[in-house]
Chain A
Amino acid sequence: MKPDPISENNSLLFGLDLNDEALHHELRQSAEWGRKMAVAAIVLQALLLIGSFSSFITYQSYSQITGRGLSRFLVVRELAIGTLHLISGIGFIFVAVYFLRYARMMKQALDHGEQQMLVESIRKLRAAFQISFGFSILSACTFIASVVSTTLYPLVG
């Protein structure tokens, strides 16, 4: 008897294993902590973004009052690095949103035993890792740029 290609293709790798109590528990816990981590990350990123804006505004007022400002090199440097930080910050909020979606879908999949939702939640988590990789590279580049510009400052500043 020839195997049915459709059922072969959709066969479960671990058979019934996601109904196993221990795995079920780990998946639920992982999703729950993923959600908490995402909420904490969104709040912290928002705080950092507000902090960056307020320090920029404070500096502007200070420069206007005292008439003292940074050199042209430092102004360009601060603007460029600040913009990159801003993009990374917004990007990581985006990543956190993917984590929230993963957690919500995984919880729904486990509660109702929805296979499609399980696949979708894994897809969201995969996307979250892929996007965070991209923004991690951007953050690393920003950091390297600040190291290089600080080293160059005595020469060109």
Chain B
Amino acid sequence: MRGEYQDIFSFGIDNTARRHLETMMLWMKVLGMVALIAIGLTMVGGTTIAMQWMARVNYHDQLTRNIDIASVGMVYVLFPALFIFPAVSLLRSARCSIAALKTNDSNLLGKGLGHQKNAFRYTGILTALLFLPGMLLLLVA
């Protein structure tokens, strides 16, 4: 009877799992921060480079110039901005889970896992949606 009790209820966060979870959450936090910095850099740096290139091009008509400006805006501003949410979700997940591990609060751990799920779900859907421009780029190439 005792063996059965232990078998059923020995599934959970033991000390080994806790150690791995703590390290994982720290890395998740670092990754979230790196992602946010990279998004900022891409927006500022990418737009700067593109503008530098565009300044050297002699446009014969306004339409081509507008198309180029729209492309720059899409690639260097819109796409990176779409990844702000998953980066913030990773940070939230890490914060909740680290606090859960410190206070042994399973509700907080559930909340942290919820944020992690959101980050994975959003990134997955976004990546799948990026197939379309990816395929377009492939065709253009």
Partner-B contacts on A (CB < 8 A):
9-20, 22-23, 26-27, 29-30, 33-34, 36-37, 40-41, 43-44, 47-48, 50-51, 54-55, 58, 109, 113-115, 118-119, 122-123, 125-126, 129-130, 132-133, 136-137, 139-140, 143-144, 146-147, 150-151, 154
| Chain B residues in the interface with A (C-beta under 8 A) | 7-18, 20-21, 23-24, 27-28, 30-31, 34-35, 37-38, 41-42, 45-46, 48-49, 52-53, 56, 101, 104, 106, 109-110, 113-114, 116-117, 120-121, 123-124, 127-128, 130-131, 134-135, 137-138, 141
Give Cα distance in the complex from A14 to B100, angstroms: 10
Partner of A14, one of B12, B41, B114, B130: B12
A–B Cβ pairs within 8 angstroms, 13 of them:
A10-B15, A13-B12, A17-B12, A17-B13, A20-B106, A34-B120, A40-B131, A44-B131, A47-B131, A48-B134, A113-B8, A129-B27, A144-B41
Q: Which residue of A lies closest to B7 (CB)?
A: A113
Q: Shortest Cβ distance from B94 into chain A, in angstroms?
A: 10
Instruction: Classify the interface of chain B: helix, strand, loop or mixed.
Output: helix
User: What is the distance, in angstroms, from A129's C-beta to the closest C-beta of chain B?
Assistant: 4
